[in-house]
Every structure is written in structure tokens, then in C-alpha cells.
Amino acid sequence: MSKIKARSGTFTDNMKLPVHRWFRYSAGYSAEWVQSEIKKFESEHDTKAVVLDPFLGSGTTAFAGASLGNRVYGFEGHPFVARIAKAKNQWILDELDFTEACNQVLNLAEKRNKQTERHDESNLLGKCYDIEALSKLDNLRFAYEKLADENPVWELVWLNITSILRACSKAGTAQWQYVLPNKSKAKVIDVKDAFLGKAKLMAQDMEYAKCANWSNSAQIFKQDVRGSIESPKCNLLITSPPYPNNYDYADATRLEMMFWGEISGWGDLKTAVRPTIMRSCSQHSAADKIVLDEILEEPLLAPILEELTPVVRELEKVRLGKGGKKTYHTMIAAYFLDLSKIWKNCRPVMDKGSEICFVIGDSAPYGVHVPAEKWLGELAVYHGFKSFSFEKLRDRNVKWKNRTHTVPLHEGRLWVKG
């Protein structure tokens, strides 16, 4: 078995790959693994794969499929992340037009050369940049906003500016994508160098993708898949949903959204992002808004209710001994309700003989085990898929000394046939 088949990889693997590397996001798997799954499906079924990704994120599945000429339908609920994926999908445009647009922005920004008026040490932007760096970024933003018109090439320029924000920040970043304003970074890239460097890399990748015959066959939609999924019939679904592990996807692009003036702080995520993504963190599942008893009465949870109920009741109890802080009991119940809705919406767009792969991990909030893959598989069967199995790829929570609980966890692929 080749190395790439033995694991699903991570987004770090994508940072070498054209187009994929334009924005770093926590993807869950690598593009090369997606390609290997598409090829395997096609040789086993002797048919072209039509691929669905209901949790598209930055588009790993979409661009892996496009590079092989497959039709891919991708849905992403986070509006800012969906815009990133849609902007990447403009790789097909002329790289010379893109380079010209970048040069225009840089010239105007340098001509303007104004000091920023929004440097404030008390907010995230002030903590991430000194006045000089934020002034340069604000001049780029001003120039972009002045010059951008309906031409989609401007979305690529927007992506260029968006994608350099972390590299130009003096604040450190965590293993995932959070900014750590109190940790400083050893290497900070100058704004102009970062912008020009990214413009060059993106133009090269655009040229490469065309030479390598990528097809313009990915369709990307900003949509909450709990509501509906409208696409032609697909026969392969490759995705990674949020895990029930309290990672806050709404917060993943807080710095970028603040920079562009879409939010003024964390509190605004509640209206700007949370309504269109599923509930997978406690910040999104406050006990005063979600009534546990009501959720547990939902018919969509019926197939897992017997096992889910003692787990969420235990979480409700443990919480009281922890100062009542984290609302994991409502978060876990809401998480599986949301995923049950999504399975229901996936069923009509997936062919009868289709293959589905969810890269997923279990979790243990407050040390109470949540067998995510088992419950997800049972929900899939409840909604009319044929069977499920789990392929474990790795153990988690086994080596860190400072772990908060000792429940062994794992991560792997939930395979559903349908």
C-alpha cells in the first residue's frame, strides 16, 4: 500500500500543491488522497465519478476533482470560507490579467501611503500588527476597494490580500488557524514582499493548472447543507465534517473578517457566521438557547437516542461540577441533530450504488466518550443508505502528558455505501 493510501494526509500536504496552497485551512485531508480515492472508485465501478462535498471548506475535494476532470459540487456554509473557495475556483482566468490587477493595486496603495486610523492595541488587529504593517495593509485594502469591479479577477486579488494577513502578523499562530496575539513570531514578512510573492505564486499556479489540463468542473455554493442540497446526482462523496470536539469554525477567520470590516469582534460572529454552520462547539450551543429535552424529542435522533441520552445527561451532570461552564450536553445533542438533517439531504442527491467517505474523529468532552463515527453511521443507515464501516487511521489523545482526560480517541474514515 502506498504511503498516500495508508493515510488521508493533512492540509500541510496541500501546501506544496498548486491552487490548494493559496489559503491555509484545516482541511482534514490531502488533495492527493482525494485523487487516489476518485481513481479507485472509477476503476472499481468503471464509471466517471461525480463528486459531492457538503463541507467544502477551502475546496480540497473540489480542486482535487477538477485536476482530474471530474465534476464536483461543493457546499460551504461559512460565508467567508465559501468566498475563499469560490475565489480559488477562478484559477481558470488569465494569469496576466491577474498580475496586472495586483500591480494596479500595489501602485495605488503606494501612492496613497496613508497611516492607518484603526490601530488600536486593545483589539485583534492592533495586537497582530504594528502601525506600519497595518498601514500598508490598509492601503492595499483601500486600493482594492477603489479598483475592484465586476471582473472576477478581483476576487483573486481579494484572496491574495486575505491570504497574506497571517504571514504579515507579528502574532504567532496555533497548530490550527487561531492567531495567538500574546505570542510573537520569529519571522514576519513585509506586506509588499508578501503581496508580490503571493501574486507570483498564484500566477504560476494558474498557468500550471491550465498546462496540466485541469478542468473548470467544480461548482461551489455558499450554502448551509442542513437546509437543502441541490445538485445533479453524484456517486462519490468525500468530505470531512466538523468533529464534535469544540473547535470553533465560526472563529477560524476572525482576523480576516475583522480586517475587511465584516465584523468588529468575536461577538459579531454570532450573526455573521453561526446561523449558517452546524453546531459543533459549546460557544455555538448555549444552554439558554437550546433546550436539551426538546432536541432529544426530535424524530431525526431516534436511531441513536438510546445511546445519546445517557451521554448528554452525563455531560449535563459533569458540567455542574465544573462551574457550569461548557455546554457540551447541548452541543453534542445539537451536533448529531444537525448531521441527521444533512444525511437526510444527502440521500436524494446520491446514487443508489454510491460510495461515501467522511473523515471523522470521536471526542470526549469532560472525559465523556462520544462515539461519533458509530452514531454517524447509524444515522446514515436510518436515512436510507445501505451500510457503514469504520477504517481507523490513527489513535489520538495517547501521548500528551497534559491531556485533560485519558479516554483513548481515534480518527479515521467512515465509509457508507448507498
Ligand X SMILES: C[S@@+](CC[C@H](N)C(=O)[O-])C[C@H]1O[C@@H](n2cnc3c(N)ncnc32)[C@H](O)[C@@H]1O
Binding site for ligand X (CB under 6 A): 25, 27-28, 55, 57-60, 75-78, 81, 224-226, 240-242, 249, 277-278
Of 55 and 214, CB closest to ligand X: 55
- Our CB check for ligand X shows the closer of 101 and 237 to be 237
Give the phi and the psi of residue 88 in degrees, each rounded to 5: -60, -30
Between 80 and 158, name the residue whose CB sits nearer to ligand X. Answer: 80
Give residue for cell 467567508: 80
> Smallest gap, in angstroms, from Cβ of residue 162 to ligand X?
15
How far apart CA 42 and CA 258 sit, in angstroms, is 43
User: What is the nearest approach in angstroms of ligand X to the Cβ of residue 319?
Assistant: 24
Q: Which amino acid is at 395?
A: D
Exposed, middle or buried by CB within 10 Å (0-12, 13-18, 19+), for 309? middle
CB 38 within 8 A of CB 49: yes
CB of 296 to ligand X, least distance (A): 21
Q: How far apart are CA 8 and CA 413, in angstroms?
A: 8
Nearer to ligand X, 25 or 260 (CB): 25
Looking at the Cβ atoms of 65 and 129, the one nearer to ligand X is 65
Measured from the CB atom, is 138 or 338 closer to ligand X? 338
Please state the closest distance from residue 238 (CB atom) to ligand X, in A.
Answer: 9
Closest chain position to ligand X (CB): 57
At closest approach, how far in Å is the CB of 28 from ligand X? Answer: 4
CB distance 87 to 159 below 8 Å: yes
Question: In the complex, what is the shortest distance from the CB of residue 142 to ligand X, in angstroms, rounded to a whole number?
Answer: 29
> How far is it, in rounded angstroms, from Cα 156 to Cα 198?
11
- Residue 401 exposed, middle or buried by CB count within 10 Å (0-12, 13-18, 19+): exposed
